[in-house]
Amino acid sequence: MRKFIPFVVYLMKIFFIHLKNENLPKENLERVAVNDEILILATKYISEKVVGQTSFDDCIHIATAIIYKADILLSWNFRHIVNVYRIRGYNAINLRMNYPALEIRSPKEIMEYED
């Protein structure tokens, strides 16, 4: 049987569409706004060619997690986000810009299974 660990979901207007579980407890939801600091960091990911311009929304997602100090970012996007080479690129830029490295994982990696 699967057991989920406690969490807080940060919601941004552009990512509401990605939220598929409508039964999330309201106390676990926090709305966040995209600000200039996020846009600067997201633009840096693009200018350093971690991903292409078409992945700018993904970069905003990652930069938002950094700026709002998320412990972990979960995504099913294995092409642009949950990809070891991309993660190294994002984190190299984060560290150079005096931000912390970000743990980026798929949702499967945080589920606990009871024996």
With CA atoms as reference, report the closest residue to 6 among 66, 103, 71. 71
In the structure encoding, which two tokens stand for residue 63, read together?
Answer: 């930069």
8-45, pLDDT tens digit by residue? Answer: 555 554 444 445 555 556 666 677 788 999 999 999 99
In the structure encoding, which two tokens stand for residue 33, read together?
Answer: 């706004």
Residue type, position 42, single letter? A
35-59, pLDDT tens digit by residue? Answer: 999 999 999 999 999 999 999 999 9
How many whole angstroms separate alpha carbon 24 and alpha carbon 18? 13
* Predicted local confidence at residue 17, as pLDDT: 41
* Predicted local confidence at residue 75, as pLDDT: 85
Residue with tokens 């931000």: 99
Residue pair 64/56 in contact (Cβ under 8 Å)? The answer is no
